[in-house]
Amino acid sequence: MAPVTTVGEEMHALVERLYPLCRSITGDGVRATLDIVGEYVPLQAHEVPTGTQVLDWTVPQEWNIRDAYIADSAGHRIVDFAASSLHVLGYSVPVSATMPLAELRAHLHTLPDRPSWVPYRTSYYQPEWGFCLAQETLDAMPDGEYEVRIDSTLADGHLTYAEHVVPGQVPDEVIVSCHVCHPSLANDNLAGIAVATFLARALAEQTPYYTYRFLFAPGTIGAITWLARNAERVDRVKHGLVLACAGDRGQLTYKQSRRGDAEIDRVVRHVLAASERPHHVTEFTPYGYDERQFCSPGFNLGVGSLTRTPYAGYPEYHTSADNPDFVSPEAMADTLAVCREAFAVLDRNRRYVNLSPYGEPQLGRRGLYDALGGRSDTKQAQMAMLWVLNLSDGEHSLLDVAERSGLPFDTVAVAADALHGAGLIKA
């Protein structure tokens, strides 16, 4: 009998499968990543040509790499791209040369304070080449001549991103975004890709109120490209969440939108507090992940960011230590659960109008009290009905009711459904 796998284990398996691929802001590594994600949820891929103007940016040349190494005089590969995609400076121009270590050092990147780890470094918009390696590897390299080869190409091509849409009851949209440009880094951001993928699958099993648009795109330039190509319809985006660093064992952290009081901010704050999970809520800053693009002043969308330990908040960040062992199935499952809980609240959060606002309507003769009989939370459910009736003035949402009454949101929403069914309130 096959072992039963949990959703956390399935997400971890996806992280492990994606981990070896060499991703960047463009190139075949991104396409290979999207091909794998497409096995889990159907994707619509978009190819945007080099040179396309996207807001204040221009789509760069496409970068692809086949091989890279530093070899000693005996031909032994001291540093080998085949062992880890982190070993090459991202977007390195091609090079084929022999040079002394003294000259080569200017192109080597290490972490002296973490001598066994390999750093992640890039040079997207300036032509450069280089290698990343462990400090202990560099320390063991004797003076002498080394063969240096980077078999890469920088040529006109495309920037690739993909979308998955879960249709809702209304065309208003919730954006869920994650970046697909990082190479072998498990927490940042393969865990985010995995959580987004399985969140999309979970929502597809329902009929959500909102339409959910999942965006798998390279960081910064990908979000900017999407915004440039969707500027005319961006007003449909009512809420959004950027997922990153979703699998480490740290506490959940929610970074609020630029608005600070957007509905998604209130919903995630409520869900985290009500769940009694250890967590942090931080104010918006114009630095971080792609929430800063969605929250730029011209768009000012209600988009927050959910992580566990935030970027640069853990030693393993942007190093080879951010490997599949660093992320846990349990942490990814917890991140996924919070997303599902938050979107469940978002989907059910409505404003109602009391159709019998003069005095308290008689609930008993409408069978509303009888419908609650035998429930362990009967008193709580009755209070929820009274609170919903009292605050259904067209100005207060169900989240307002839950926060003011101290009652669980789900209890308030169930009460609203009952009252709506009895014709006492209308949306």
Residue spans of the domains in the chain: they are 7-60+158-347, 62-155, 351-426
Note the pLDDT of residue 364.
82
Six token digits for residue 116: 């066994």
Note the pLDDT of residue 367.
81
Sequence-distant contacts of 291-300: CB under 8 A, at least 24 apart: 291/240, 291/242, 291/255, 291/257, 293/220, 293/223, 293/224, 293/227, 294/175, 294/177, 294/223, 294/227, 294/237, 294/240, 294/242, 295/257, 295/258, 295/259, 297/258, 299/227, 299/234, 300/258, 300/259
| Amino acid (1-letter code) at residue 8 | G
Note the pLDDT of residue 1.
43
Q: Cα–Cα distance between 57 and 92 in angstroms, integer?
A: 20
User: Which CATH number among 3.40.430.10, 1.10.10.350, 1.10.10.10, 1.10.260.40 corresponds to the domain 351-426?
Assistant: 1.10.10.10
**Residue numbers belonging to the annotated binding site for Zn(2+):** 182, 188, 318
pLDDT along the chain (427 residues), means of 10: 76 98 98 98 98 98 98 97 98 98 98 98 96 98 97 98 98 98 97 98 96 98 98 96 98 97 97 96 96 97 98 96 98 98 97 94 81 62 94 96 95 95 94
Same fold, 62-155 and 351-426: no
Note the pLDDT of residue 417.
94
Give the DSSP H/E element, type plus range, for residue 104. helix 101-104
**Residue numbers belonging to the annotated binding site:** 182, 188, 318
Beta strands in 39-157 (DSSP E): 44-49, 53-54, 57-58, 62-71, 77-80, 95-100, 108-109, 131-132, 145-155
Note the pLDDT of residue 269.
97
**What CATH code would you report for 7-60+158-347?**
3.40.630.10
Note the pLDDT of residue 370.
59
* Architecture, CATH, for domain 62-155: 3-Layer(bba) Sandwich (3.50)
Note the pLDDT of residue 3.
59
Note the pLDDT of residue 181.
97
pTM comes to 0.95
Torsion, Cα of 272, 273, 275, 278 (10° steps) = 70
